[in-house]
Chains A and B, each alone.
Chain A
Amino acid sequence: MQADRDTVLSANRIDKVFPGAKALSQVDFSLRRGEVHALLGENGAGKSTLVKCLTGAYHRDGGTILLDGAEIDPRDTLDAQRLGIGTVYQEVNLLPNLSVAENLFLGRQPRRFGLIDTGAVNRKARALLAEYELDIDVTAGLDSFSVAIQQVIAIARAVDVSGKVLILDEPTASLDAHEVAMLFRVVRRLKARGLGIIFITHFLEQVYEITDRVTILRNGQLVGTRDTASLERRELIAMMLGRELAAEVHDESGAAKVADGPVRFQFRGFGRKGRIDPFDLDVKAGEVIGIAGLLGSGRTETAEVMFGARRADSGTATIDGKAADLSSPRAAIRQKFGFCPEDRKTDGIIGDLSVRENIALALQARRGWARPIPRAEQDRLAAEYIKALDIRTTDAEKPIRLLSGGNQQKAILARWLATNPEFLILDEPTRGIDVGAHAEIIRLIETLCEKGMSLIVISSEIEELVVYSHRVIVLRDHQHVAELTGAEITTDSIVNTIAGPAKTPAERSAAAGEIA
């Protein structure tokens, strides 16, 4: 591993285990001086876990980390910072209520006679930011500046405090094209100064624009490290999204699946400004619509407006030809909608309540508080779904937070199935769960659609979408860009559509502008 004299940071055979899941297994990673190195992978692939092991936020369960050839073992992020590894996150990790200068020099302000020398603090802050071509009022509150400028300030602080390795964790997620350009100028300058930079993003354009090498992780394992220049875009996406699942689930149906029921749900010009551009969508009874696209392409946002989690600000929805109110989750549930959100922990489970209560919750909410589901009925429901979905729990009264991710996911699914929905939206139903549960959920999706339920399934596992989807909608830059049907639904065609035609810079900035 240490063949490279230029290597500033290397991580060898890193293991990290969480209760019930192996987050990283035997991952190798190395970073050279003066290099921008992209770390890629879908959510849950292990990117942030790896970064947290490098910065000491997590303690790794195995493996070694070498900085400048010497083994290090950072206790926490502060320790890592002192050693020379600084991190800048997507949510700017500075204090919005302090001034720019205070943020830059918090805890290390120059003092005179025991008092902070405010003049010196501001002078030094201006000098430091001048290196980044930033000429701003350093006495103004941090929150009076745009996120892009806050990012640069965060970078300036991180580099000033650490100085060897800079980790940028999705710094561009909420920036427009101009701001990204500004940030990249800063990154190039730091690269020229010999810093090793780890760059995490889900914008492939940016990977090709700024990085020298890419390392791809999937399901906690290293897929590979390549030179960016020689890695084809299609291959990159294939490496990220994987190709192994086909072996797990037998794809008997091939391309012949067509739902022949009547169109029941119609969306026209449905959308919400800044989140998802207006789209049209018809869904038949007994149809599974797959939604594909990279993270941040508008997948989750599509689900959220359909369910009323965020109110659509344009367009109409009709069910069986009649106008339908989908302005809030309660309204959507009245229309027999259901929604398993992507972030199980914050949006799905009620951690302290039992598995039984979690399963009964949506049905109970729809019936209203005055008509409680009798306890016997709740027990029956819980027992039925624990058996049907094979939810592994010692009993139905266990708090749901104690279950593993896959079993929590199944319990949330059970919550919606108990309401007997006609339109079910599943956002990443198979993320972060083990292979066995994975196959079960896929079988369940197929069973539900045979029963006549309409399903929208969002997934970053392309093979999985190919198996069960009647149609696949592909999203890019907050737009529904393509609809694949019948024989068009293959892994290759989906990957190609996601990758899209190579864009000119003008198109790129136009697209980035829309995101803003």
Chain B
Amino acid sequence: MKAKHLPLAATILIFVLSYALCAFQFPNILSTRVIGNLLTDNAFLGIAAVGMTFVILSGGIDLSIGSVIAFTGVFLAVMMENTAIHPLAAFVLVLIITTSFGALMGAIIHHLEMPAFIVTLAGMFLARGMAFVLSIDSIPIRHPFYATMKSFYLKLPGGGRLTLIGGIMLLVFALGILIAHRTRFGTNVYALGGGAQTARLMGVPTGTTTIMIYALSGLLAGLSGIVFSLYTSAGYSLATVGVELDAIAAVVIGGTLLSGGSGFVAGTLIGILIQGLIQTYITFDGSLSSWWTKILIGFLLFAFILLQKGILYLSRNNRALAT
């Protein structure tokens, strides 16, 4: 096995083991119903986490996605309430807005040479602020099209349902994997994370790539917002606070190096599922308190950072011996 697959393998192993442990205690957890819910409940987080994976692979960070999701939800709700626009048209409109928003942040990061952390922090305030300006109330969405979309699902053997939004998440992951490994853009993202200076010397268009990465993250945050509005049938400007943290945690637990250059989109899916599994277990157990989710995720984060530090240390030592 190659060293770069080690964190991913560790993630999968942890997932399988913990799933087996859960199943041993609550055999019900194996049912397609629970699995279907796991996908549906985490759909919006998963979609946003795909964008975050690209950002982190390139060595950056995007703190704005939680706010962008909330903005998207409020924007859609306000549009549905006040205009006769068809939801699909509203979707296209909001995706254009969030994608341009991401591209703008990418442009500022590249051209003004400002840290992504600070730029996307300002973006986080701005998007949340725009959501507040649109409305501070939770607005229900009652458009019939929403009901139609929610009625789409794939029946799984055993009574479970793969809902539309769960399906969208899986599709986004599939596309994300394709983009990461089978396009020049994807390779350029990895190249940027491996070393921006070297990548530039090797002919990678660093500016365009940076802008595209944050645009993609904005696009997926927008899509995540659409999915979240389908999930909740409402738009609320105070929703999804701190989702960027969950997404970052999923990416790191999924085996991606937080300093960039190494990791897999597929790992992020496992990271999302691990987080979902912890929550499902706590619900099943009933006696455990919800805060264990955060503590466990924090612990997993720490374990993965240590694991990656260890791999780095070992590979460096190996190479020192080899030369």
Contact (Cβ within 8 A) A175 B323? yes
Comparing B23-31, B114-122, B177-185, the segment that makes contact with chain A is: B177-185
**Does B202 count as interface, using CB distance less than 8 angstroms?**
yes
On whether the beta carbons of A115 and B183 are closer than 8 Å, the reply is yes
Closest B residue to A102 by CB, please name it: B187
Task: Please give the distance in Å from A163's CB to the nearest CB on chain B.
Answer: 15
The answer to whether B323 touches A97 (Cβ under 8 A) is: no
Q: Is the CB of B4 within 8 A of A141?
A: yes
In the complex, which residues of chain B have a beta carbon less than 8 angstroms from the beta carbon of A379?
none
Q: Give the CA-CA distance A176 to B201 in the complex, in Å.
A: 28
Residue A95 is within 8 A (CB to CB) of chain B in the complex: yes
A98–B3 CB distance below 8 A: no
The answer, yes or no, to whether A143 is at the interface (CB within 8 Å) is: yes
Nearest CB of A to B64, in Å: 26
Tell whether A95 pairs with B194 under 8 Å between CB atoms, given A109-B184, A140-B2, A141-B2.
yes
Q: Is the CB of B319 within 8 A of A146?
A: yes
> Quick one: CB contact mask for A463-479 with B, threshold 8 Å, 1 for yes?
00000000000000000
- Complex: how many Å from CA A106 to CA B209? 14
Q: Cβ of B203 < 8 Å from any Cβ of A?
A: yes
A368 at the interface (CB under 8 A from B): no
Contact A106 B202 (CB under 8 A): yes
Indicate which residue in B2, B182, B202, B319 contacts A95 across the interface (CB closer than 8 Å): B202
A411 to chain B, nearest CB (A): 30
- CB–CB B203/A78 < 8 A: yes
Instruction: Return the contact of B322 from the options A78, A97, A146 (Cβ within 8 A).
Output: A146
Look across to chain B and name the residue whose beta carbon is closest to the beta carbon of A142: B194
Q: How far is the CB of A88 from chain B (nearest CB, A)?
A: 11
Give the number of chain B interface residues (Cβ < 8 Å). 27
**CB-based contact B182/A118 at 8 Å:** yes
B157 to chain A, nearest CB (A): 33
- Contacts of B198 on A, CB cut-off 8 Å? 93-95
Report if A95-B183 is in contact (Cβ < 8 Å); known contacts: A107-B202, A143-B319, A174-B323.
no
CB contacts under 8 Å to A, within B143-189, are 178, 181-184, 187-188
Q: Is B195 an interface residue (CB 8 A)?
A: yes
Chain B contact residues: over half helix, strand or loop, or mixed? helix
Contacts of A146 in B (CB 8 A): 319, 322-323
Question: Looking at the complex, which one of A97, A107, A144, A147 makes contact with B194 (CB distance below 8 Å)?
Answer: A97
A107 and B204 in contact, given A94-B198, A95-B199, A141-B4 (Cβ under 8 angstroms):
yes
**A143 & B315 in contact (Cβ 8 Å cutoff):** yes
Query: Within the complex, what minimum Cβ distance (angstroms) separates A479 from chain B?
Result: 19
Enumerate chain A residues within 8 angstroms of B2, measured Cβ to Cβ. 140-141, 144
A96 at the B interface (CB under 8 A): yes
Number of A interface residues in the complex (CB < 8 A):
30
B178 touching A176, Cβ below 8 Å: no
Residue contact B262 to A97, C-beta cutoff 8 Å: yes
Among B201, B204, B322, the residue within 8 A (CB) of A93 is B201
Partner of B201, one of A78, A103, A118, A141: A78
Contact among B182, B190, B201, B204 for A97, CB-based, below 8 A:
B190
The reply to whether the CB of B270 lies closer than 8 angstroms to some CB of chain A is no
B261 interface contact, C-beta 8 A = yes
B235 on interface, CB distance cutoff 8 Å: no
Per the bound structure, the CA–CA distance linking A109 and B190 in Å amounts to 15
| A109 and B187 within 8 A (CB) | yes
With a cutoff of 8 Å between Cβ atoms, the chain A residues found around residue B194 in the complex are 95-98
> From residue A167, how far is it (CB to closest CB) to chain B in Å?
13
Closest residue on chain B to residue A137 by CB atoms: B2
Residue pair A77, B201 in contact (C-beta under 8 Å): yes
Q: Is A116 an interface residue (CB 8 A)?
A: yes
Question: What is the bound-complex CA distance between A77 and B204, given in angstroms?
Answer: 13
Q: Is B191's beta carbon under 8 Å from chain A? A: yes
Distance in Å: Cβ of A291 to nearest Cβ of chain B: 26
Residues 25-69 of chain A, each 1 if its beta carbon lies under 8 Å from chain B, else 0: 000000000000000000000000000000000000000000000
> When the two chains form the complex, which single residue of B3, B183, B204, B261 contacts A106, counting CB atoms closer than 8 Å?
B204
Binding site for B on A (CB under 8 A): 77-78, 81, 93-98, 102-103, 106-107, 109, 111, 114-116, 118, 140-141, 143-144, 146-148, 174-176, 516
Task: Please report B residues at the A interface, Cβ cutoff 8 Å.
Answer: 2-4, 178, 181-184, 187-188, 190-191, 193-195, 198-199, 201-204, 261-262, 315, 319, 322-323
What are 10 A-B contacts defined by CB distance under 8 Å? A78-B203, A94-B202, A95-B199, A97-B194, A97-B261, A97-B262, A98-B187, A107-B184, A143-B3, A176-B323
